[in-house]
Amino acid sequence: MRDAVATLIKSYDTTGRYFDRAAVDALASYFATGAGRVKAATVVNADAAAIVRETGTRLFSVLPELIQPGGNAYTTRRYAACLRDLDYYLRYATYALVAGDTDVLDERVLEGLRETYNSLGVPIGPTVQGIQIMKEIVQEKVAAAGIDGSGFLAQPFDYMSRQISEQNI
């Protein structure tokens, strides 16, 4: 897993360039938001189980057919698997949040996920909707803690949603 600094260095090293103004500005932006990223991750970590439960509650209130007979979250085992997956998304989003880089999401979550979900018959739309609901809950909790995460908080959630939605299979 790389962070924003390692990714930037690798990019410039690969092309044999010194840091230019854009690189310095990117580094300054990352470091300026560092404390906020760590504080936001602390808020998420302290309340992760509640965030996942609330995400499930909101998702199933919007899409109740998922937990009705024949739905993809019907039966205790499938419901638990859905919450488990939401927990994975939250945990890795937190890693990406602190790193300031979505590399960990590609490596540990997204590679092959769409194909796996398609082969298992897991609908992509509700998965993306769940990730977006989770983002809203995290934003609410971070804002309630008095942390300004407006510039970086949505990035990992939006990235996962885009990648799951748009990857070719």
- What is the CB-side half-sphere exposure of residue 54 using CA atoms within 13 A? 16
What is the average pLDDT across 87-114?
A: 93
The per-residue pLDDT for 162 is: 95
Query: Among 47-61, 113-127, 134-148, which stretch is predicted with the lowest mean pLDDT?
Result: 113-127
Which structural domains are found in the chain, ordered by start? 1-32 (no CATH), 36-166 (1.10.490.20)
**Angle between the N-to-C axes of helices 113-120 and 124-144, in degrees from 0 to 180, rounded to the nearest 10:** 130
User: Is the pTM of the predicted complex or chain greater than 0.95?
Assistant: no
The per-residue pLDDT for 115 is: 82
Which one-letter amino acid corresponds to residue 85? D
Residue pLDDT, tens place only, 1-29: 788 999 999 999 999 999 999 999 999 99
Q: How far apart (Å, rounded) are the C-alpha atoms in residues 95 and 89? A: 10
- What is the CB-side half-sphere exposure of residue 63 using CA atoms within 13 A? 16
Q: How far apart (Å, rounded) are the C-alpha atoms in residues 106 and 60? A: 27
Q: What share of the chain is helix, strand, coil (3-state, %, to 5)?
A: 75, 0, 25
Mean pLDDT value across the chain: 93
